[in-house]
Structure 1
Amino acid sequence: MNLPPLTQSFVLHFGEMGSHWGINRTVGQIYALLYVSPKPLNADDIVEAIGCSRSNTSMALKELQAWRLVKLQHLPGDRREYFSTPDDVWAIFKTLAEERQKREVEPTLTMLRGAILERPSSEEERHAQARMKEMYQLIELVTKWFADIRDMDVETLQRLMKLGAQVQKVLQFTQSLGRLTGRDGGKEE
């Protein structure tokens, strides 16, 4: 690799983490390189920096485009395609979460919906179906929560995340206040 030590460390780490995230090493390395690059890079720049083949680079860039994690652009007077990542790290986070939901969560919800609608033929299947329904309800709740989070502006989202466990105190306070005033305190039925 022909990169400064700090950049090389970051790129190598993302490559290694790629397998844990369900992407290959080259995709992880290219994304990391584009993320820290001060300017858009073309495929030749990437091949030179990382030392991977041109075909691997091309396939990785297509995968990153399919995930909407890189931007394609053309520079005046240059016919080559240049790539960069969005500048806003929150936009990257939201895009990544949306893509994972579309590719992983939605198919699981679809499968579980179908399984819940089946007519169980034994006690064992009734038990399995009941467990699947619990899983469906949890995933559906998290999906709705994520949709609410995704629609928040970044400043509000940051404040919410910084609250951490203090949110529990706010909810307990609202619940206590609800009991005092005769309301449910925001409890769901």
Structure 2
Amino acid sequence: MTEITEIAPQNDSPQQDSLPPAVRQFVLHWGEMGGQWGVNRTVAQIHALLYLAERPMHAEEISDQLAIARSNASNSLKELMGWKLIRRVPIMGDRRDHFTAELDLWQMMTRIAEGRKQREIDPAVAALSICREEAANDPRISAAARERIESMHDFVTTMDGWYSEMITIPTGTLARLIKMGRKVLKFIPKGKKAD
């Protein structure tokens, strides 16, 4: 794992200092990965903190631990709730909202994949369908361009269909299938390599 260099916050809090080094490193790394995937770094860091937390945490505690603004924590928590990666947990005698993360890794990855599909793949399929229809009826579009639009549409809809089939497979079966990895390739006839 690549080591993430930490920049010391301007207002060191005793709460933040209480994070064990491995937890701090995990939170920082998860935040960096989130940024690479197009997810706000703070959202990813809060998710990592809650994933490792042994008990539900409230927003003020989260903002103290990560040395972030309370409003930033609240907005990030709302986003994580929208992705269904965290949930509210009532705590007896405490009126504040407490949060806990989904701990089942398969559920977590399924929810992330579903969220990304809704935000990225579904609009792409819809846009390509419109382009395909318009290209079919426009004599100004060359046969090559029309064919490329058709190929892209077919590819994206095939991947979308594959995802829709995979998501219905029970988690245990899907886990075994993924773990089989390259062993499955023995049963697939070898064809010519693509240029």
Classify the TM-score, shorter chain.
Answer: 0.7 to 0.9
Deviation at 1:78, TM superposition (A): 1.0
Q: Superposition pairs for residues 1-189 of structure 1, below 5 Å?
A: 1-2=16-17, 3-118=19-134, 119-124=137-142, 126-172=143-189
Give the match's secondary structure for 1:132.
Answer: helix
Flag as ranges the 4+ runs of structure 1 deviating above 6 A: none
Deviation at 1:58, TM superposition (A): 0.6
Deviation at 1:129, TM superposition (A): 2.8
Deviation at 1:112, TM superposition (A): 0.2
Write the distance in 1 (CA, Å) between the matches of 2:106 and 2:74: 26
Write the distance in 1 (CA, Å) between the matches of 2:58 and 2:146: 51
1:49-88 alpha-carbon deviations (Å, 9 max, x no partner) = 1000001001101111111111112111111111111121
TM-score in terms of structure 1 length:
0.86
Give the match's secondary structure for 1:39.
Answer: coil
Deviation at 1:109, TM superposition (A): 0.2
Deviation at 1:120, TM superposition (A): 2.7
Write the distance in 1 (CA, Å) between the matches of 2:144 and 2:83: 37
TM-score in terms of structure 2 length:
0.83
Write the distance in 1 (CA, Å) between the matches of 2:183 and 2:158: 21
Percentage identity across paired residues of the two chains: 37
- Which runs of no fewer than 5 residues in structure 1 stay unpaired? 174-189
Write the distance in 1 (CA, Å) between the matches of 2:120 and 2:180: 29
Question: What's the C-alpha RMSD, in Å, of the aligned pairs?
Answer: 1.5
Instruction: Quote the residue 1:178 is aligned against.
Output: none
- Contact conserved, 1:73 with 1:83, CA < 8 A, in 2? yes
Deviation at 1:123, TM superposition (A): 4.5
Q: Which has the higher helix share?
A: 1
Give the match's secondary structure for 1:52.
Answer: coil
